[in-house]
Structure 1
């Protein structure tokens, strides 16, 4: 009986150690993936403003364990029309990093936080609360504009200011000053008292009742003077 012959395998599987070029390529791929993941994480981040330079219009933001370089914050307008409303230290913001580079990111204020909660719960109101306690608010529910908590207000116009309204009420605890060469009242003027210090003229019919009218210390409706034939005249009729 002839012994069986060993069959030669159709193919041999060979394992070889990776070369240095393959290792470097794999490492580069790993680094690229890590860098891509880092860039994606940095594209939009939240943070807290920790420092502000008002002169340059820049701030520094802490996000996680990182404090950024000086970054510009975004504003409503920055062309022919410009707005200025600086964020504040402690304000929560968004970091918008083009390409994931935090060194060139922009700061977008602001996000309410536990330290700085929303100042209103109205669904439609425009409400601005300032750190000195002043409040500007327009509430569409009752169509009311409210300004409170301010100390002074100054409006300067080169031509005119017009206010059109059915009724105007001004309450001043001390004084109202109209500093102008001429004040024109086109219709009735009602006043509790009247004092004229520098003279003037009046024209038209004038009616007086319910009190005394004096001129140079003399009450006109009871004034008497010497008569032509002696004695005194009677009071005016």
Structure 2
């Protein structure tokens, strides 16, 4: 295989990578990701469902397994596009018909039977 073909193959293999968040800079909306101990990314942005007049803030957590999409396999140009449940961060539910958001002890659950809000304190103002 030629050098150019080998580089192309290496780039294709690195376009989508799994890693673990090792550091977080919430003010800059960036995180660092370790790829199995072999390397650590620079500060990468994470995907937001919305990021303008309507916005959603949901930063990843340190230790969270994430998926990084990198143009041409260059992780310096990567974006964290999502998370994957893992042994260290298990799914908060096991029902196919349930939508659940959980932050610590607080949660919102929506399913066919209704909406449940659970929290130590609920402030409606």
TM-score where L is the length of structure 1: 0.50
Rounded to whole Å, the distance in 2 between the matches of 1:39 and 1:116 is 29
- Paired position in structure 1 for 2:15: 43
- Paired position in structure 2 for 1:106: 79
Q: Kindly report which structure 2 residues correspond to 1:142-221, keeping only aligned pairs within 5 A, or say none.
A: 142=113, 144-155=114-125
Unmatched 5+ stretches in structure 2: none
**TM superposition shift of 1:41:** 1.0
Of 95, 99, 106, which aligns to 1:134? 106
**TM superposition shift of 1:128:** 1.4
User: Bigger radius of gyration, 1 or 2?
Assistant: 1
How many pairs align? Answer: 124
Q: Kindly report which structure 2 residues correspond to 1:110-125, keeping only aligned pairs within 5 A, or say none.
A: 110-125=83-98
Contact 1:91–1:109, Cα closer than 8 Å, also in 2: no
**TM superposition shift of 1:80:** 2.4
Larger proportion of strand: 2
Of 73, 81, 102, which aligns to 2:54? 81
Rounded to whole Å, the distance in 1 between the matches of 2:120 and 2:7 is 51
Structure showing greater relative contact order (alpha-carbon pairs closer than 8 Å, 6 or more residues apart): 2
Rounded to whole Å, the distance in 2 between the matches of 1:80 and 1:148 is 28
**TM superposition shift of 1:150:** 2.9
**TM superposition shift of 1:39:** 0.4
Rounded to whole Å, the distance in 2 between the matches of 1:49 and 1:104 is 16
- Paired position in structure 2 for 1:96: 69
Rounded to whole Å, the distance in 1 between the matches of 2:120 and 2:106 is 5
CA deviation map 1:114-154 (0-9, x unaligned): 011111111111111212x11110121x2x21111231312
**Structural RMSD (CA):** 1.3
Report the 3-state secondary structure (helix = DSSP H, G, I; strand = E; otherwise coil) of the residue aligned with 2:117.
strand
Q: Which consecutive aligned stretches of 4+ in structure 1 deviate over 6 angstroms post-superposition?
A: none
**TM superposition shift of 1:98:** 1.1
**TM superposition shift of 1:31:** 1.6
